Structure 1
């Protein structure tokens, strides 16, 4: 009977060690998730800065475009008023058109880059949300494991109480058997 009672505490010890190992693993995983979350937030900040640079570049391209349009209009009006040759004016117009198209191409490229940055920013936000959910689940698991450990400790206490009660019962049984033997001896003598 004592051997059986000795096995129970060792199994509880094994469960406790297993719980502690799992708890350590979960704590490491939580730390990793928090580090990933910090890195992703830094990436989002970098994306914001890049998006701001792209917006500034877009504004500059729009200002250049407006300036080119103004210059184009001035050139066009000066063509009418001045007596320059048509060939020279055509060359200038072609040059301004080329600049205008180049500015438009730069603006289109900047808009595309801004759109891609915004898409990447949204993906990073989704990843951060996913990591936060994983962190919450890990914390919930830790709480459940701590509750299990508490229950294990309670069971250990109950096992100790039962072991003590069993030992007391065995002692009482031995005393009763000794008393019984004495009574039988006295009974046989009489």
Structure 2
């Protein structure tokens, strides 16, 4: 990818991110220009073209931190904050279409448990009471089932996670999983 194509694709999202953190449009433009300069100077360091988006937001994050340091009022900005833009919603919507088929690919006991708790919103406490299973056992089974589900997702996609473990981006490992 060229710097022009990268900038055309991501500059609007970067600007929206900056506007959500900085009130002055002039300062936003200054930082956006700094991001462009840093991108131009360091684009050769990107090894995987699929990681351009996350790399750009890291550059934006660092540029903002540097900006606040220069101004003498440091504002803590974390990488996971940088993905509160529209594209995060699109990622979640895309992956949500995969959840139910993947849950159904789990062992029946795990699938039933996750469908009740994760998809239907039933509390773990209520589930334990209705099925006569100790609450602590249900909690353990939910955690185990979530790990199994995550493993299925990781088998199909390269996941990019924020600092809290939430999925912020994904790339299917093969065409087989393009539409889950």
TM-score for the superposition, normalised by structure 1: 0.23
Q: Greater relative contact order (Cα 8 A, min sep 6): structure 1 or 2? A: 1
Richer in helix (by share): 1
Richer in strand (by share): 2
TM-score for the superposition, normalised by structure 2: 0.24
Whose Rg is larger?
1
